[in-house]
Amino acid sequence: MTRAYLGIDIGTTRTKALLYDAAESRVLASSSLPTPVKHSSEGDLRDPDAVVEVTAAVSARVLREYPADVAGVSVASVGEEIVLVDATGLSTGTTPAWYTVESALSPEGPTHAEATWHKLSSIARKHPDRITASRSFTDIAGYVSSRLTGDHVTDAGGFSPLSMDRSHASRTGFYDPTTEQWDLQRFDRLGLPRELLPTLVSSGTVIARTSGEISANHGLHPDVPIVAGGHDHFCGAFGAGVRSTGDIYISVGTSESQIVLVDYLSDELREAGIDVGTYVDARHAYLHIASASGREFDAAVRDTEFTDSIDDLYRRMEVLMDSTHLSGERRANNIDLTVRPILQLLHDQADRAADRIDRLLTLAGRSDGRVFVGGSPASQPLWRQIRRAASAVPLTFLREPELSALGAALLAQFAVEGIAPSPPAVTYSEGAAHGISGGMSVSPAGVRAE
């Protein structure tokens, strides 16, 4: 039976599972299901246990499709969403989705409106009983990982604290990426007991082993290493081959994230007015800028009342782009002017993305760097054409649709084998696909690119 690693990615709208054969550097199988969400008067909410049911279903589906000897499992997820747990390790209730924000933010909290700090503040204010009933908290990926262990009661009958990887901690609003520890002063502003804070761990480290019914429901045998994963954007970057200082990754989905890797965070970088944090390779820090490009695109499509497929939408925009080469009657018969606002939005987004790349490179002290682009829009030739035309630096568009799940699988491989080379990446090059290589190995300083 093939030895493989299982990567799970809990995204905003879809939850994916991917099985990776490290010996052959290839994806064996992948699948996805909708990520559950509850609509409420308080905004969209996530039920952590419903998420666990979905990760189980999609993982079991992949392992039925391609039975394998799973050597390790790791979970990536959206950031900021928080799961409060009781003394048995079970969720105490729903959590605001990462994009659900308060209309009026507390001035005591971070300026980042989606930060976990604000979600904890909201729960404490609206549902104080849940805080009283809770023993700790973690992110969605951390919760799924904890459920794979069976329970959280120690042999002595005490509570076994949860963990949180540092890439997720970087999005809380009470983590110090320079010391890589909790910022207790910022956390104390919430007025919550410090005992709630989970144990910080580095992505790519073994945190437990599978046992119990829930891991079996995922299709996993007992005693499989459970490896700390990370924030989905940063796991996606890792899966894309972003391993070296100056590398940039652009993840385009519901939100668009752009990150650049740096060796350390100077005071100047920390005061630059952008997000900073700890990368999943445990060696680099990152600078991060996010935008709502996917949600803007969806809103523009709704405004035009376009109901056909995305592929058809792009075909109509391509005709509009080529309209200067058409004339007379043919132009009138072929051009759909209703898609013009969407096409203009794609150009505007490309210009803003190019500006952000320039800013990230400047902050990182680089004149150029490798820029990798992943996400479903990259499958559209017109989208790639628009992005290339706007960018002052070459862009590498990756074909792998599940980069975050792949990155999680690679983190599992690293934890077990001590090495996780980037698989040869098939890229869009408008006519020819080519490979990108890069890897990582253990060194006294942590993980380094090769």
> Residue 113: its pLDDT value, please?
86
Please state, in angstroms and rounded to a whole number, the distance separating the CA atoms of residues 34 and 14: 4
pLDDT for the residue 441: 32
Strand (E) or helix (H) holding 239: helix 232-240
Q: How far apart are CA 118 and CA 81, in angstroms?
A: 10
Q: Which fold does the domain 3-235 belong to in CATH?
A: Nucleotidyltransferase; domain 5 (3.30.420)
Q: Calculate the CA 286 to chain-centre distance.
A: 14
Write out the two tokens for 391.
């960018």
Which pLDDT does position 440 carry in this prediction?
37
At 399, give phi and psi (nearest 5°). -80, -30
Residue 450: the pLDDT is 30
Q: Are 289 and 269 in contact (CB under 8 A)?
A: no
Residue ranges covered by each domain of the chain: 3-235, 239-304+342-449
Identify which of 84, 83, 78, 179 has the alpha carbon closest to the alpha carbon of residue 132.
84
Domain 239-304+342-449 in the same topology as domain 3-235: yes
Q: What is the pLDDT of residues 232-255, one digit of tens each?
A: 999 999 999 999 999 999 999 888
Least confidently predicted of 41-55, 196-210, 234-248, 256-270: 256-270
pLDDT of residue 118: 93
For domain 239-304+342-449, the question of CATH label 3.30.420.40 is answered with: yes
Residue 325 has pLDDT above 50, yes or no: no
pLDDT of residue 329: 42
Tokens for 45, please give them. Answer: 């909410």
Task: Provide the percentage of residues in the chain whose pLDDT is more than 70.
Answer: 89
Q: At a CB cut-off of 8 Å and minimum separation 6, what does 408 contact?
A: 7, 8, 9, 18, 74, 75, 76, 229, 230, 235, 239
pLDDT band (50, 70, 90) for residue 160: low
pLDDT in tens, 339-361: 889 999 999 999 999 999 999 99
pLDDT at 364 over 50: yes
Residue 10 has phi, psi (to 5 degrees) of -95, 100
Helix and strand totals (H; E) in the chain: 15, 23
The residue among 175, 153, 151 whose CA lies nearest residue 82 is: 175
Cβ atoms of 117 and 190 closer than 8 Å: yes
Q: How far apart are CA 302 and CA 416, in angstroms?
A: 46
For 336, the token pair is 């759909």
The mean predicted confidence, pLDDT, of the chain is 87
Of residues 304 and 277, the one with the higher pLDDT is 277
What are the structure tokens assigned to 176, written together? 């110090």
Q: Which of 27, 360, 73, 69 is nearest to 206 (CA)?
A: 73
Q: In terms of Cα–Cα distance, which of 138, 137, 106, 110 is closest to 122?
A: 106
Give the whole-angstrom CA distance, residue 264 versus residue 283. Answer: 9
